[in-house]
A and B are shown apart, each in its own frame.
Chain A
């Protein structure tokens, strides 16, 4: 009897979490997969089975193709800026030359991370504004008004303007992750290199980079996964436009489901997003060993 009562505690303590995750995380994922085989709308209670038709449609969906291409642009540019640039930034910040000023700069670089994406996106719609925008006014100020354009209203520049905003907001986040990793590198490695007369660049490539390799890999995966999911930035700034030029997979899914009321097809797009991101997430969990006993 007593033994059974003791065993009840871990179950009771775990139950709420398992319920939360089951109902709001796992069941939706499974349900989404099933939904992909049905035709239904938000308000109709009936779902009509249509088999794998929507998955075949995915292959011929032009918007999907543009969206996916944009997600990939997002990923490539984000890896360059948020991983490589952030690593260099973190290395410079952690150099003993800047010991006094670094803590302040760290906080400054991190401020945009803390601010809500809707505030950031509204702010950037002022920056990109074709009439009074800061960017065009600045170009005019330095005599480059020929480069000024309606950044968000132009089909070629829209997606890059959205991506640029993301870099501005997120570089500080990845920089912080690198700073933490660099601080964990044993100091005597650098001291030994100093004695050997190694310069900063040699130390960067021979000590810093190999020592933060794992963090770098995780950061690449975080950035790529985030790029595959990106919704808020294009949704608020351009809503995928002009035309479909700045559409991403998530925006496409949202519009299909909640604007065009084609829930079944939207679910098929969501399933695609899930497969793409799950692969990256699996690699990440394997590499970072999250949840392993220290």
Chain B
């Protein structure tokens, strides 16, 4: 728009005519290229969806049919595969995952927002050091800490408990969560807290009554990102949890596979059950998830 208003278009009105002529030519060309690109996009969508569709369809099949009729729909729909999967262990993995995920979320949101509050409201040398300490946590990765964490958790008597997962998940999710929440807190107008102080609001009151309610969107982002991480985490849940009763879904599925041997339909049903919560989360809270992933730019 701005370009059209400059003197250039007055000086050179023929360029508009040329532009229009060019357009009709490119219209035809772009129709062809549009269809080529569309086919490409749909083809890629097919590559992404087909394995998942196959997983879903095959979860209703018997072993024989999975083995012999890879592509076909089930001749008999074995809905009982889901009941078997649920009762043979998936239910316990599911609730373990749910417990670990919910507690991780609560702790991350509480502990993280408190730290973010301090970091956004105060400016001293020590606050800066604390900020660097927390951002530095982003550089550390669980793989490197695996063996010492195993020792520390053994020493704390937490190995083979859900707390081994919850505490370590919280620790590794805090840096990103604090950075996201702090950035949001910094955008809250200072006048709000000043008037709150005049009204006699305590420090805790400002955090609890002003900052938290105003920050619901970023807190939802934090919840979604944490849920995604805790629900899918594999390494810690494999190494720190030994007993099958305590395993979460990602590590539980491995044991499930070994126990089932060839009962593939049931295994696939278990895999579908494990995936459903996250797909629902994606469809419902896409906006918050994308925001967090892009602002954090750190792979879970």
**What is A's interface to B at a CB cutoff of 8 Å?**
6, 9-11, 13-14, 16-18, 20-21, 23-29, 31-32, 35, 42, 89, 92-93, 95, 97-98, 101, 105, 107-112, 114-119, 122-124, 126-127, 131-132, 134, 137, 168, 172-173, 176-177, 180-181, 188, 191-192, 195, 197, 199-200, 215, 218-219, 222, 226, 229, 231-232, 236, 250, 253-254, 257-258, 263, 266-267, 270-271, 273-274, 277-278, 281-282, 285, 288, 290-291, 293-294
Contact = CB atoms under 8 A, between A and B. Distances in A.
Nearest to A34: B148
Nearest to B175: A21
Contact of A123 (B37, B51, B141): B51
Given A23-B152, A188-B2, A109 B44 contact: yes
B191 interface: no
B143 A20 contact: no
A127 B48 CA distance: 13
Nearest to A277: B141
A13 to B, nearest CB: 4
Given A17-B178, A20-B171, A177-B293, A116 B234 contact: yes
Contacts of A236: 234, 254
B192 interface: no
B118 A281 contact: no
11 contacts: A9-B118, A9-B203, A92-B37, A107-B283, A115-B232, A116-B274, A126-B268, A188-B3, A191-B1, A254-B239, A291-B135
Contacts of A258: 239
A190 to B, nearest CB: 12
B81 to A, nearest CB: 15
A111 B298 CA distance: 18
Contacts of B204: 9
B152 A28 contact: yes
Given A13-B115, A119-B271, A127-B51, A24 B147 contact: no
Contacts of B3: 188, 191-192, 195
A25 B172 contact: yes
Interface of B: 1-4, 15, 18-19, 22, 26, 30, 33-34, 37-38, 40-41, 44-45, 47-49, 51-52, 54-55, 58, 66-68, 70-71, 111-112, 114-115, 117-119, 121-122, 127, 130-131, 133-135, 137-141, 143-152, 167-168, 170-172, 174-175, 178-179, 182-183, 186-187, 203-204, 207, 228, 231-232, 234-235, 239, 249-251, 253-254, 257, 264, 267-268, 271, 274-275, 278-279, 281-283, 286, 290, 293-294, 296-299
A95 B37 CA distance: 10
Contacts of B167: 20, 24
B210 to A, nearest CB: 14
Contact of B133 (A18, A124, A293): A18
B167 to A, nearest CB: 6
A119 B22 contact: no
Contacts of B15: 195
Given A20-B167, A31-B148, A177-B297, 17 more contacts: A16-B115, A17-B114, A17-B178, A20-B171, A26-B137, A28-B145, A97-B30, A108-B49, A118-B254, A126-B54, A173-B293, A191-B3, A231-B143, A236-B234, A270-B144, A277-B141, A294-B183
B275 A89 contact: no
A42 to B, nearest CB: 8
Contacts of B178: 17
Q: Is the interface of B mostly helix, strand, loop or mixed?
A: helix
B297 to A, nearest CB: 5
A149 B140 CA distance: 39
Contacts of A195: 3-4, 15, 19
Nearest to A89: B44
Nearest to B179: A291
Contacts of B4: 195
B203 A20 contact: no
A180 B40 CA distance: 21
A27 B44 contact: no
A177 B294 contact: yes
Nearest to B117: A13
A253 B145 contact: no
Contact of A31 (B139, B151, B278): B151
